[in-house]
Amino acid sequence: MTDGPAPGGVLVVDKPAGPTSHDIVARVRRLAGTRRVGHAGTLDPMATGVLVLGLDWSTRLLTFLSGHDKSYTATVRFGVATVTDDAEGEVLDTRDPRGLTDDDVAAAAACLTGDVDQVPSAVSAVKVDGRRAHARVRAGEDVELPPRRVRVDRFAVGPLRWGPPDPADGVPRCEADIEVDVSAGTYVRALARDLGAALGTGAHLTALRRTRSGPFAATEALALGGPEASVTSAELLARVLPPAAAARRFLPEVVVGDDVARAIAHGRRLPARGTGRSEVAVLDDRGRLVAVVDDSGPTLRALAVVPVG
């Protein structure tokens, strides 16, 4: 193994509303001085919050993070259903939400908690015959996606807020803030849509913020709002978590001596370490990341190996 650190690292960014996740990736590439930057799950342009990025070799670590649970806060407007299930889409239907109560909404949210079969939003990134669903919708095609099993661990709804009719659609303003903890692959827009459908009013999101992705929270994220000059390259690089520090946040770990570290780095088959886990971070006795391995069988199987100098 080299005496230097493993290349790259993990950066937790607080994405502002407006730019796409790919815009943020491009900005980080410029500031970090590397072309190799990846993400552990995108956010819509309207959404804000936690976007976890990997730099250089550490993009390979994101594979082991993308399946972790996530948390969101959002605002749901009742009485208006849209094509995109958010405020940016064309209105599909309107219903007068007057008569809706806090208890009604709480009961409907309770029915959407636990293991549920969710049809992803039509403008999701799910592929249909090799093309993203959102691309087909924007090309004018009708898209029907099959349901998928997701898990909603928490679906908390705040009190309803009422306001005068919106001039754009004439529907009385009726909104509520929600907080959800969900499995990877859950669409919060689809939760809002299904909540409105259950209540008979229709609904869509007007705001969305990811507050947590796996173990990474918005409270530790680097804010990238405002002009690019507001964050310097040095400030950004100072916030990059080294690969070992990042990996031990979301993976179990085993520590090995130099001889075992070299053997793993060079692809040798070694006896399992006994954790029984399918994804384990291997660190050497100096705390450097060596590899991520599958330790569920009789021998270790390397899933991602840090480059050897």
Return per-residue pLDDT of the chain as tens, 309 residues.
444 444 689 999 999 999 999 999 999 999 999 999 999 988 989 999 999 999 999 999 999 998 899 999 999 999 999 988 999 888 999 999 999 999 999 999 999 999 999 998 866 555 445 554 455 455 555 567 789 999 999 999 999 999 999 998 999 999 999 999 999 999 999 999 999 999 999 999 999 999 999 999 999 999 988 766 688 999 999 999 999 999 999 999 999 999 999 999 888 889 999 999 999 999 999 999 999 999 999 999 999 999 865
Joined tokens for residue 85:
């299930």
CA distances from 162 to 64, 100, 173 (A): 43, 10, 5
d(CA 160, CA 170): 18
**Is the Cβ–Cβ distance between 196 and 74 less than 8 Å?**
no
Q: Provide the annotated active-site residues.
A: 44
CA distances from 182 to 31, 67, 155, 215, 265 (A): 32, 11, 9, 13, 36
Joined tokens for residue 210:
């990811």
Domains in the chain, ordered, with CATH?
9-68+215-245 (3.30.2350.10), 70-213 (3.30.2350.10), 251-305 (2.30.130.10)
**Is the Cβ–Cβ distance between 46 and 17 less than 8 Å?**
yes
Is residue 235 within a helix (H) or strand (E), and if so which, with residue range?
helix 233-238
Orientation angle between helical segments 102-111 and 188-199, nearest 10 degrees: 120
d(CA 109, CA 87): 20
The answer to pTM > 0.95 is no
